[in-house]
């Protein structure tokens, strides 16, 4: 008479919940884990674009050539561009925080990767956002 088949066992004879071997049972990174790179890339693109716009929107400094030729110089910030900077930094904050939350929720094991880039993105975005907000 044969024994009934134990459905709890995997192919190599161990039980499915046996953790002695510490084998990897995950099939690979899921969609959220794969999207963390895109969160970091898009957030840093927003912040770098905002820094570029700040360099364009800042008041021009008076040069020797401008003084000698009596050229008019803008003495104030271009507030239309600074509005774009404001919203780009706000988007950087949102993307950084969303990526940080996803990273913390999907990080379950010791060897799972933590994106410090998302934390730095959030800090730089918040500091820059308040700097632009105070102009």
Task: Give the tens place of pLDDT for each residue, 43-62.
Answer: 999 999 999 999 999 887 77
Domain count, the chain: 1
Contact 86, 131 (CB under 8 A): no
Q: How confident is the model at residue 113 (pLDDT cuts 50, 70, 90)?
A: confident
Task: Dig out the tokens for 60 from the structure.
Answer: 């021009």
Q: Look at residue 41 and tell me if it is in a domain.
A: yes
CB atoms within 10 A of CB 10: 12
- The verdict on residue 2 lying in a domain is no
Residue 67, C-beta contacts closer than 8 angstroms, at least 6 positions apart: none
pLDDT at 76 over 60: yes
User: The tokens of 90 are what?
Assistant: 């706000």
Query: What's the whole-model pTM score?
Result: 0.71
Give CA–CA dist 10/20, Å, rounded: 14
Percent residues over pLDDT 90 in the chain: 41
89 vs 66, which has greater pLDDT?
A: 89
pLDDT number for residue 47: 96
Task: Examine residue 19 and state whether it is found in any structural domain, yes or no.
Answer: no
- Per the domain annotation, does 10 fall within a domain? no
Residue 89 within any structural domain of the chain: yes
85 in a domain, yes or no?
yes
The pLDDT tens digits of the residues spanning 2-53 come to 666 555 555 555 555 555 555 666 676 778 888 889 999 999 999 999 999 9
Domain of 60, in residue numbers: 31-133
Q: How confident is residue 94, by pLDDT bands cut at 50, 70 and 90?
A: very high
For residue 14, being part of any structural domain is answered with no
Mean pLDDT of the chain: 82
The total number of residues written for the chain in this structure = 135
47 inside domain: yes
The pLDDT of residue 67: 78
């Amino acid at each position: 008479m044969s024994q009934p088949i134990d459905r709890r066992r995997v192919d190599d004879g161990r039980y499915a919940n046996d953790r002695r071997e510490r084998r990897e049972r995950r099939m690979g990174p899921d969609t959220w884990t794969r999207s963390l790179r895109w969160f970091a890339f898009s957030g840093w693109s927003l912040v770098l674009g905002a820094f570029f716009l700040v360099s364009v929107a800042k008041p021009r400094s008076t040069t020797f050539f401008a003084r000698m030729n009596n050229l008019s110089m803008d003495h104030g910030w271009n507030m239309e561009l600074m509005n774009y900077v404001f919203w780009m930094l706000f988007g950087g904050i949102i993307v950084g925080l969303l990526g940080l939350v996803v990273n913390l929720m999907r990080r379950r094991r010791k060897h799972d990767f933590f994106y410090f880039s998302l934390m730095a993105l959030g800090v730089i975005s918040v500091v820059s956002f308040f700097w632009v907000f105070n102009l």
